[in-house]
Amino acid sequence: MAELQRPTLCCCRKVLTVPSKSCEGGRTLGQCRLVDIASASNFHSFKLRHFHLDLHLNFALKRMTGWQVLELVPIQPGVQTLVLDTHPSLHIHSIDCKVPGTAGSPDIFLSLTYRVDPFTDYGSSLNISLPASVIRPHRAFQITIRYTTTDGPAIWWLDAELTCGQTRPLVFTQGHSVCNRSFFPCFDTPAVKSTYSATVRVPEGVTVLMSASRSAYSKQDRVFQFSMEFPVPAYLVALVAGDLQHADIGPRSRVWAEPCILTCAVSKLGGSVERWLAVAEGLFGPYVWGRYDIVFLPPSFPIVAMENPCLTFIISSILESREFLLIDVIHEIAHGWFGNAVTNATWEEMWLSEGLATYAQRRITTEAYGEAFTCLETVFRLDALHRQMRLLGDNNPVSKLQAKFEPGVNPSSLMNLFTYEKGFCFVSYLSQLCGDIKRFDSFLRAYIEKFKFSSVVAQDLLDFFLGFFPELKENCASQREGLEFERWLNDCGPPLFEPDLSAGGVLTGPVQRLCELWGTDAPDAQAITTFDLSTWSTFQTVLFLDRLLDRSPLPHEVMSQLSHSYSALLDGMNAEVRIRWLQIVVRNSFYPDLPRVRSFLLKHTSRMYTVPLYEDLCGGVMKCFAVEVFYQTQARLHPNLRRTLQQILFQTSAGTTMSTVSALPCTSSPTLDASPVLAPPVLAPPTTGPTPADPPANGTIALRDVNVSA
């Protein structure tokens, strides 16, 4: 294949190949192809130095009211409009401008006109008219936007009943990927970074945390002050407020949580966080963010974890599994270098954050826990990647590392295993090319030092890699047949290379042998008893159950034997194990263990544990059972999750309308439950909030395959 052409970067750092004079979208050089942001039309015309938020949180009305001050410097002359990303849930009250005076002249204050235009289903365009007579290139000015925001996609208001302690309400924000435009008007792209500060006023008894490097609190005024002294993109600005307490777990780390789970969180983490940070610093250089704190959020948190600088958000449900907790926290620590310090300039190359962070996570676990453990976890994740690949097909464009957005496509739809695991495999291939993992560690340290606090594209990484290893450039390593860098970035399909994971054989070998025993029509019961799952790690057990799930449906006799051998044992294990066993139960329509499904769904109300089971129940013959359980639990579900489950339960695409679902014959088996199955009342289709795509039928992608930390 032809040599990669030397790239030219447009203003948004999107790669343009020479001699092209325009982006792929047809825009000329100097315009931005980022189709996921309304502000793409002119964010390159300004330098955002800093912004400040001043907010009052009203839990009774579930709204934030206040103002934002943006400090901007025009880069180009003649700019008459400032375009920011916003959202219909964010209501603008007024916009003012302050231009500092020069040579002793007074400051100029002006009220500005603006309009809000539709953009996509996940945002709007805020167009602010600027006074050309006073706006000059390289002369700073301030824009003040007074606004109120309510329940947009970034802001999650939880009534007290939805919190862990069920005593006080709580609110948190989740900005990834393009949600923070409903939190505050912004250049909602990872290509733009700035410092920020915030003042937050709250009712008595409420503690506020933000992803900031400094904080202060005035008890008398009930005001929290925050400052982030390092530049970050908009999506990494995060806030949580509620009944939160803390405990120090290291010299630069503390755990925050509701009082009822704080002790558990501290006991699960102990002194491990400082150890992991020290290992990471030894590999990749100094941790630049100062503090590394963790806040555990209620089960309504929509993802597993989020790498907000200085303050990782993580779902409390993961506390059940020590190994998954370990991996998730280490992954978020790795983002301190890869994703936060050096950020992908466009969501089309999300692997630059997630693939590198996954590689770094595994370097940390190898140093801290040994190669065998890391290989086991990697085998488990790559199994999930290949499962997803089989279901999607080799030519699905979502499997590209350099994805191409069409206008209106939400970048969050690219949060899949390819950005993590295919990206990890590419980084592992680069490491293998240099021939020495320690030399590659040195390269990554230099890469962070070179691009720290900036946003990059893939070509930045690859050019720096070939410059760091000139012998590879001389030997045309980027064009090795079948492994060309361009193919890695732009071809669909599985990774072109996977690392050697044989060091994990001591842990994965028993799993494979037990799977083979259960793979026969008449499993050898005596041989099976030689494998004691109670001595296995969580990752060994979930790998075993995932591979059984891949083989479903299983013969009824085999399911009966599996249930007899493991069901009671698995009842005492963590939720990551139990959900996989229950998916096997559901996909094989094994009614004797269905009460365990009910018990699990009555206890667990997080998206990552409910959605996969409801999808499997509705993809098979158990929809009536699913409807019944939903009506028993819906009051304890967050409204967003409730709408998602309604869509799964009452979707019309399969030819079953909502009005007919409740009339389905619900034959109660004596093995299901002692109580009769109640026909639910008819529901109207959900009409508010985001509506997910129709869920897949049985046998397609389960969310356990894509439910990964941010």
Binding positions: 331, 335, 354
- Between strands 293-297 and 311-315, the pairing is parallel
* CB-based contact 87:121 (threshold 8 Å): no
Count CB neighbours of 287 within 10 A.
17
Judged by DSSP in three states, 418 sits in helix
Q: Is 420 annotated in the active site?
A: yes
- Binding site members for Zn(2+): 331, 335, 354
Residues 6+ away with beta carbon under 8 Å from 572: none
Token readout for 604 is: 């667990």
Distance CA 230, CA 214 (A): 11
Question: Among the options 258, 307, 320, 332, which is catalytic?
Answer: 332
Q: Which residue from 578, 606, 705, 639 is spatially nearest to 304, judged by alpha carbons?
A: 606
Judged by DSSP in three states, 96 sits in strand
Q: Is 332 annotated in the active site?
A: yes
Judged by DSSP in three states, 666 sits in coil
Distance CA 342, CA 339 (A): 5
Residues 6+ away with beta carbon under 8 Å from 631: 678, 680
* CB-based contact 178:171 (threshold 8 Å): no
Distance CA 674, CA 213 (A): 56
* CB-based contact 704:661 (threshold 8 Å): no
* CB-based contact 374:365 (threshold 8 Å): yes
* CB-based contact 206:111 (threshold 8 Å): no
Q: What are phi and psi of 410, to 5 degrees?
A: -75, 125
Judged by DSSP in three states, 75 sits in coil
Distance CA 343, CA 354 (A): 10
Partnered with residue 29 across adjacent β-strands are 31
Question: Among the options 122, 292, 359, 420, which is catalytic?
Answer: 420
- Between strands 123-129 and 141-149, the pairing is unpaired
DSSP per-residue letters across 159-227: -GGGSSSSSS-EEEE--TTTTGGGTS-B--STT--EEEEEEEE--TT-EEEES-SEEEEETTTTEEEEE
Please give the positions annotated as active site: 332, 420
